[in-house]
Amino acid sequence: MRVIIIGRGKMGTLLKDSASAHGHEVIAMADAANQDEVKPLECDAVIDFSHPDNLGWVCDYVQTHGCIYICGTTGLNEEQKQLLRRTARSCPVFYSANFSYGIAMLEKVLEQVTPLLKEDFDMEVVETHHDQKQDAPSGTAVMLVEAMDPDHAFKRVYGREGFVGKRGKEIGIHSIRGGTVAGEHTVLYLGQDESLKITHTASSRMIFVNGAWKALAFMAKRPNGYYTMKDLTGEEQ
């Protein structure tokens, strides 16, 4: 496929360098600065690991050209998430905050384990990323908490400081930034005299790159609509 990559950072560069190995041709790399040069170009797919500020013009582009949109941009607000879903009426859209197969499996595990533990165990999520990551908590952490508590029965508490009082019905979410950590997410279930810790560690951004190419292969045969890792992993089982 002829692909346009949105974002010139490390993920964009890795995608560009690995495209030919997956049978694709990158015809342009784009961001807000050169969007006018890209808009006339025709392509089969857009892969976007950039900044939420790019979402508006990228959605306009993919709707105009009717191409596949693979979006891995995190830090989207609710309005932007709704824009993605509206865009999916006009073209095939695949969105995930994390393109790791392991994270997709972790999400499924949490959906099954949490209902069994939530009444007797306190729950916390800790995410660690490199010092260049701009959003916190990570989109993956938000996704995992949503898997644990889809009905929002527990209050989300983002870090703690000062005299916060006795713990209530809450899920603590904590962000650590430093070094070159590609990504680590730990979910803790803390009970009386016992605890359960589940950790996923990404050793390299290549797991996200390979996941994006796998998502593109999946989307090649899909009609207009909104797709996620659940659709991809469901097909593979």
The residues annotated with a catalytic role in the active site are 129, 133
Q: Which residues have CB under 8 Å from 111's CB, separation 6+?
A: 147, 148
Q: For residues 64 and 148, what is the distance between their CA atoms, to the nearest angstrom? A: 37
Give start and end residues of each alpha helix (H) in the chain.
10-18, 35-38, 55-65, 78-87, 101-117, 139-148, 206-219, 229-236
Quote the Cα angle for 202-205-206, to 5°: 105
Closest C-alpha among 231, 219, 225, 235 to residue 70: 219
Length of the chain: 237
Can you name the residues that pair with 213 across neighbouring β-strands?
A: none
Radius of gyration of the chain (CA): 19
Q: For residues 21 and 151, what is the distance between their CA atoms, to the nearest angstrom? A: 42
> Helices (H) and strands (E) in the chain — how many of each?
8, 11
The token pair that represents 174 in the structure block: 């904590």
